[in-house]
A and B are shown apart, each in its own frame.
Chain A
Amino acid sequence: MDNFFNEIALLLELDRSIVNKDLDLTKLEIVPWDSLAVVSTIAIIDEIFDITVDGRSLSGCKKLQDVINLINSKKS
């Protein structure tokens, strides 16, 4: 998951130290959690975990933990 947080930090242009499961996706200051961020996150998840998550579910995530839950539900 460390690799995933590194990629999310890069994508959202955030300091790596604040990217963890509690990151609030509704309060991002630089790169918003919009359709562009969602598509990029789909790519990150595919690359790291070799799974696909659907865009609508991803768009509805409020915290990074929600994204992690989606990933885990696809992995199982």
Chain B
Amino acid sequence: MDNFSKAIVRGVHCSIPSKRIDNSYFEESFEKKSIDDVVKIIGVKTRYWAGDQTSTGDLCANSAKALMANLNWSPESIDALIFITQTPDFFLPPTSSVIHKKLNLHRECKAFDVNLGCSGYTYGLWLATCLIEASSARRVLVLAGDTNSKMIDKSDRTTCLVFGDAGSATAVEYSEHSVDSHYVLGTDGVGFNHLIVPQGAFGNYDIQADSRFKDKDPSCIFMDGAEVFNFTLGTVPKLLISLLAKAQSTIDDVDFALMHQANLFMLNHLQKKAKIPNDKFLVNIDKYGNTSSCSIPLLMCSEMTSLTSTKDLKLVLLGYGVGWSWGGAFIHLRQNTYFGLETSD
């Protein structure tokens, strides 16, 4: 199950907002030592936040336009658009409809939103691949992004320092030549209340009964760091093992391992636990923060721009977090796969 041969990534483009936030920004709200203590764990030095007039849909649409121009993909050729986010432009309509209009896509294009965060990109690639394998599409745009800065509590140092905003677009296409890809995906709803915005939508979570929410703003992101870490420790190493087994490969066969950039402390620990060599382990959380569903494509665009110019690459992508939800993808990139990164508002 979830072993494929007909879909390939042709390119990825990311957009980050222009407003750069250094750690000194937070000295208005916290003591410098308090900030430094958090930064030792999360490893974020800068992050970029979208302004009031810039939405996740804007960042992803900008990425899609740039990607389509660079790949010479016409709007008429896009069969499906998948928009992955936890910060949509609207509760309704789906933001994918709004983007459909911005990109001038055709009426037969299948467009829909997917509400996933940290695991969202791997789920997005899997969905695109499934559509292609099922002959429901030949060209799919996977747009993944978040503007979590719009729902952080700026008085909560455990969350407000870690998140950055970004939007991405990935072009996935039917390949005449066989291209292996493998996926391992999973869910455990037991973890739903450890990374949550408890109020603002239409469900009911009893924050009075949960002492962790005392003095917390329920309309903002709450994250139980210890629970997140324990989930990650218990899930990610096994995910990597399962994925490599499915691909009949070892870490030696892989060119790069790209993990969701949750925080630097966790990444370093996972790298050690999974025995991933330094030259295969990409990190950019210091520059961009945790960009949620965009963190893996942003890692590709910021760290891999020149790396596919001379050879094909095998990548392992690991997304894990909110839900709990996790997704691993083992994919091949052909030589000259396009990567682009821009600032846009």
Contacts and interface: CB of A to CB of B under 8 A. Distances in A.
A31 B34 CA distance: 11
B190 interface: no
Contacts, number: 46
A54 B265 contact: no
Contact of A43 (B37, B224, B227, B229): B229
Interface string B252-288: 0000000000000100010011000000000000000
Contacts of B269: 43, 46-47
B226 A39 contact: yes
B226 A38 contact: yes
Contact of A59 (B37, B158, B226, B273): B226
Name A's interface SS: helix
| Interface residues on chain A, size class | 10 to 19
Contacts of A55: 224-227, 229-230
Contacts of A46: 233, 269, 273
| Interface residues on chain B, size class | 10 to 19
Contacts of B38: 36
Contacts of A39: 41, 225-226, 229, 265
A59 B230 CA distance: 14
A15 B230 CA distance: 28
A42 B230 contact: yes
Interface of A: 31, 35-36, 38-40, 42-43, 46-47, 52, 54-56, 58-59
